[in-house]
Amino acid sequence: TDLLTALTEVVRLVTDGKLIQHVVHRKQRVLLAVASELLGSMTRSRYGFSEDFDVVDRLSGLSRGTRTLSGGETFLASLALSLALVELAGRAGGRLEALFLDEGFGSLDASSLGEALDTLTQKAEGGRLVAVISHLKSVAESIDRVLAVKMSPTGSHVTWISAAERERMLTEDVERGLVS
């Protein structure tokens, strides 16, 4: 009868969706814990995530809805969640071979940009391809291999940019007063 009681309970849990809900909730909590750690590392321990995906300001202890975040804060929160998914896939034996990030870096101040790029560099060292699309030369300065896309009247042209060429481009921007 103990076996029958146990099987009846398993059937009840599976039938009403509570088991699936429980498993999803546990996975979500792990995701948010990893994402909180990553977000904290990119924000000098200021921000983390609550159980409902709001961002928690650890200085004030207040939870903030995503609509109250600045563009830079939103980007960092999204980046932390993306990197947490990569981390969890790796822990489960899976492997995400590539991570593509499109813009968002322009919404960050210099300090936050540095923290975000450091975190991405650490993830790329694990052998993953991390592709970043950005118009910021300071991002290109931090990346080993840069593919530049330039528009012209005859179409777009792509070239690999060397470290020396990136340095020259940055120097030209400083001379024009575009970068301080």
pTM: 0.71
> Which pLDDT score is estimated for 21?
84
CA 109 from chain centre, in angstroms, equals 16
Q: Would you state the structure tokens that stand for residue 55, as one six-digit string?
A: 């961002």
Estimate the crossing angle of helix 110-124 against helix 71-91, to 10 degrees: 10
Centre a 10 Å sphere on the Cβ of residue 96 and count the other Cβ atoms it contains.
15
Counting beta carbons within 10 angstroms of the beta carbon of residue 6, is it exposed (0 to 12), middle (13 to 18) or buried (19 or more)?
exposed
How far is 121 from 146, CA to CA, in rounded Å?
14
Q: What is the DSSP letter of 157?
A: E
How far is 170 from 164, CA to CA, in rounded Å?
10
> Which pLDDT score is estimated for 179?
58
Per-residue CA distances from 19 to 8, 9, 22, 52, 89 (Å): 13, 11, 5, 20, 21
Per-residue CA distances from 11 to 16, 24, 175 (Å): 9, 18, 72
Centre a 10 Å sphere on the Cβ of residue 9 and count the other Cβ atoms it contains.
10
Go through 33-44 and write b for each residue having 16 or more CB atoms within 10 A of its CB, e for each that does not: ebbbbbbbbbbe
Per-residue pLDDT of the chain (180 residues; tens, 9 = 90+): 799 999 988 888 778 777 788 888 899 999 999 999 999 999 999 999 999 999 999 999 999 988 888 988 999 999 999 889 888 887 887 777 777 777 778 888 888 888 888 888 877 776 777 788 887 777 877 777 888 888 889 999 998 988 888 888 777 777 777 655
